[in-house]
Amino acid sequence: MSRYTIKISNRFWETAKALRSKYTHEQFAEIIAIIRDCINELAEKGFVDENGWDDHQLMRAPFGDGSHYEFHIFDDDVLVVYFRRERNRTIRMVGVYDHETIPGN
């Protein structure tokens, strides 16, 4: 049984599509598969440490509210942002970016 409820909007997956032109079809399919594995890990643990790396709290606007986190996948090129509300054990997937497109840069 999952420890966290995960909420994923269509908008989350739309942010991932913005990176599609940067990668081959096979690479992009692998990125999506890794993100799905990471989401499963988030549901179990509330953080990512096996399928992604450098899971940390974000400090800069617009995500510097103490509840937004990111982890890196695919050779540190893809950044996945999520919002964790510990009180009700809910995680909302926010967006998929690269270092150039993450808001606040």
Instruction: Give the global pTM.
Output: 0.92
Q: In whole angstroms, what is the distance from residue 85 CA to residue 25 CA?
A: 34
Task: Please count the structural domains in the chain.
Answer: 1
Confidence (pLDDT) at 105: 59
pLDDT in tens, 12-38: 999 999 999 999 999 999 999 999 999
Question: pLDDT-derived band of residue 104, with 50, 70 and 90 as boundaries?
Answer: confident
More confident residue, 96 or 75: 96
Report which secondary-structure segment, H or E, holds 68: strand 68-73
Q: In whole angstroms, what is the distance from residue 20 CA to residue 83 CA?
A: 23
Domain of 18 in residue numbering reads as 5-97
Check which CATH number belongs to the domain holding 33 and give it.
3.30.2310.20
Structural domain contains residue 103: no
Confidence (pLDDT) at 1: 53
pLDDT in tens, 36-88: 999 999 999 999 999 889 999 999 899 989 999 999 999 878 999 999 998 99
Structural domain contains residue 12: yes
